[in-house]
């Protein structure tokens, strides 16, 4: 093993799978450990001979918090640049030494006490509304009078714009120009998002919204460098690819080298203020045809000569900064990669993805769990006679399929656990069953919230201008793929001539572009469901069961 491989192997720290750990900022674990060690050391002594070790530790924490609070206040209010750099260093170093609870207190303080001055805003609005618009009266005012009136308007408007800026804007602006400040701001936002997940506070939401807007501006595509990541890059960069790969974990150095080798590409967005660390990266496979399973992309097939490839398949896209959540860097990354690959390899004519459906199994189990229990008493005998024994009202699954899924998830908290891999793999025999085709087709094409599809990955690609081309059964047999998506994966296709049109129609009307085959499956499934409702409406009413509504969305 060469030195680079050994370095990556020794230095790479895989991301934790525990959601509670992911919710914290990346430095929390290290910082909290150092804080706990220092607290333990302090607790062994006495302060002034009278205070216990526990009280001494609390007093020290309190002093640390006050010091960080004072440095934050100074960073907002001071003007001298040479002193400001020192203050910003003190603030960032002190922030990392705070416990999670003290960070929460500090951020709530920042959100509430350093917000905009609403009393001043109200007063300026009153003054503005009290002004008479130039030329609004019947008497023609002179040029000098009009200039004076406009001057008053401009002055109040300028003051109003200034008053509508919260005081914490100065802190964000100054940190952005400070070495390491942009990374620090992303960590602060990660902590804000972690707190908001626990308690939804209006002032904190406003702080998050403002910081997100600032980060979106500072991380515009013009400020980002598109970099092709290869095996020749520093080990420190490659270890981050291994650590932050979120879709298909990199199992070993051979796997990493394969993903960066012949027939493969990896591109990342870098920012000058965060050197050596991609903010987001995408992995591409060069293939003859659009792949239907992730196995053939990662392991099964050796790479083809690149000159024979006609398809660039995007099979993984991962963000490395939790604090940049909601800032759609992936949209710009995909479009730039498409242009770059097309320029360098004109023979590539198809740009597609092989994507998971991470919300599918949770949605399916929630639908199963929420259906009324119809197989009780007399209902069981009547319903079994007409083969409507499934409690799944939308008739997505056959009765034996529903029983297998419900049995696998019995006794487990809803939405948390999914059927075992063995149970799902046994369902491969039903891969051509219309009920399976209908369930995931309808989830992607018909299930919506606020006009957009439920699935986050689908929403991402559709709003970027892709269309749903094909759904692939048992395309990801990994534990994660079976748990989240039931092994199903989707091919989204980016047609160069239609990207902007498709993105525009989805954004404005929620229209989903899909291949003719998928549209036909949905139409057939809708008709079958409506026919089922019509045939069984009478028997349902007879036994006091809730009647299906043909006008409701089908599955």
Q: Which residues are catalytic?
A: 355, 461
At 406, list the tokens.
Answer: 């419900």
Q: Six-digit token pair at 99?
A: 């416990």
**3 state SS of 481:** helix
- Rounded CA separation 283/264 (Å): 7
Mention every residue, 6+ apart, whose C-beta is less than 8 A from residue 297.
285, 287, 291, 313, 315, 354
With residues binned 3-state (H G I as helix, E B as strand, rest as coil), the percentages for the chain, rounded to 5, are 55, 10, 35
515-540: b or e for each residue (b if 16 or more CB lie within 10 Å)?
eeebeebbeebbeebeebbeebeeeb
Q: What spatial distance separates the first Cα and last Cα of the chain, rounded to whole Å?
A: 53
Q: List all residues 6 or more positions away from 524 whose beta carbon is below 8 Å from its beta carbon.
A: 434
DSSP code, position 307 = G
Alpha-carbon torsion, ordered 91, 240, 306, 473, to 10 deg: -110
Contact of 539 with 519, CB cutoff 8 Å: no
Beta bridge partners of residue 470, listed in sequence order: 491
Q: How far apart are CA 167 and CA 506, in angstroms?
A: 37
The 3-class SS string of 39-62 reads HHHHHCCCECCCECHHHHHHHHHH
Total Cβ atoms within 10 A of residue 293? 18
Cα–Cα distances in Å, from 437 out to 8, 198, 431, 518? 43, 38, 8, 9
């Amino acid at each position: 093993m060469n030195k680079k491989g050994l370095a990556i192997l020794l230095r790479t720290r895989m991301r934790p799978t525990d959601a509670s750990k992911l919710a914290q900022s990346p430095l929390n674990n290290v910082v909290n450990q150092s804080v706990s060690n220092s607290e333990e050391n302090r607790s062994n002594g006495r302060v002034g001979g009278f205070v216990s070790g526990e009280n001494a530790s609390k007093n020290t924490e309190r002093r640390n918090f006050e010091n960080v609070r004072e440095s934050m206040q100074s960073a907002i209010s001071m003007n001298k640049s040479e002193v400001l750099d020192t203050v910003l260093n003190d603030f960032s170093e002190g922030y990392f030494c705070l416990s999670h609870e003290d960070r929460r207190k500090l951020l709530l303080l920042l959100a509430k006490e350093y917000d905009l001055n609403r009393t001043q805003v109200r007063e300026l609005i009153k003054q503005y509304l009290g002004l008479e618009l130039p030329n609004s009266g019947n008497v023609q005012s002179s040029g000098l009078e009009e200039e004076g009136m406009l001057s008053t308007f401009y002055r109040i408007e300028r003051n109003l714009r200034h008053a509508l800026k919260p005081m914490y804007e100065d802190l964000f602006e100054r940190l952005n120009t400070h070495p390491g400040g942009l990374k620090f701001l992303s960590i602060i936002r990660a902590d804000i998002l972690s707190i908001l997940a626990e308690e939804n506070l209006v002032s904190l939401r406003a702080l998050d919204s403002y910081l997100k807007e600032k980060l979106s501006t500072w991380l515009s595509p013009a400020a980002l460098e598109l970099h092709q990541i290869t095996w020749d890059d520093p080990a420190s960069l490659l270890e981050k690819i291994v650590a932050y790969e979120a879709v298909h974990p990199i199992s070993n150095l051979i796997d990493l080298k394969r993903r960066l080798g012949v027939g493969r590409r990896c591109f990342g967005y870098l920012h000058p203020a965060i050197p050596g660390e991609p903010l987001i990266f995408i992995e591409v496979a060069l293939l003859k045809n659009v792949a239907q399973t992730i196995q053939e992309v990662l392991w099964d097939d050796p790479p083809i000569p690149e000159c024979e490839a006609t398809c660039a398949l995007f099979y993984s896209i991962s963000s490395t900064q939790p604090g940049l959540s909601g800032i759609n860097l992936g949209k710009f990354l995909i479009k730039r990669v498409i242009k770059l690959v097309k320029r360098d390899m004109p023979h590539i004519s198809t740009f597609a993805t092989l994507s998971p459906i991470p919300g599918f199994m949770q949605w399916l189990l929630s639908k199963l769990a929420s259906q009324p229990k119809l197989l009780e008493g007399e209902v069981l005998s009547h319903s079994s006679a007409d083969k409507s024994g499934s409690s799944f009202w939308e008739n997505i699954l056959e009765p034996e399929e529903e029983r297998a899924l419900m049995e696998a998830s019995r006794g487990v908290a809803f939405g948390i656990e999914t059927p075992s891999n063995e149970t799902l793999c046994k369902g491969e025999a039903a891969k051509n069953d219309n009920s399976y085709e209908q369930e995931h087709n309808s989830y992607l094409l018909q299930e919506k919230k606020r006009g957009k599809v439920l699935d986050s990955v689908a929403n991402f690609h559709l709003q970027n201008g892709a269309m749903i081309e094909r759904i692939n059964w048992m395309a990801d047999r990994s534990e994660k793929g079976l748990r989240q998506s039931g092994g199903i994966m989707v091919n989204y296709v980016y047609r160069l001539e239609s990207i902007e049109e498709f993105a525009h129609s989805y954004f404005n009307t929620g229209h989903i572009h899909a291949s003719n085959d998928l549209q036909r499956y949905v139409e057939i499934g809708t008709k079958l469901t409506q026919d089922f409702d019509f045939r069984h409406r009478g028997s349902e009413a007879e036994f006091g069961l809730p009647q299906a509504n043909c006008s409701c969305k089908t599955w």
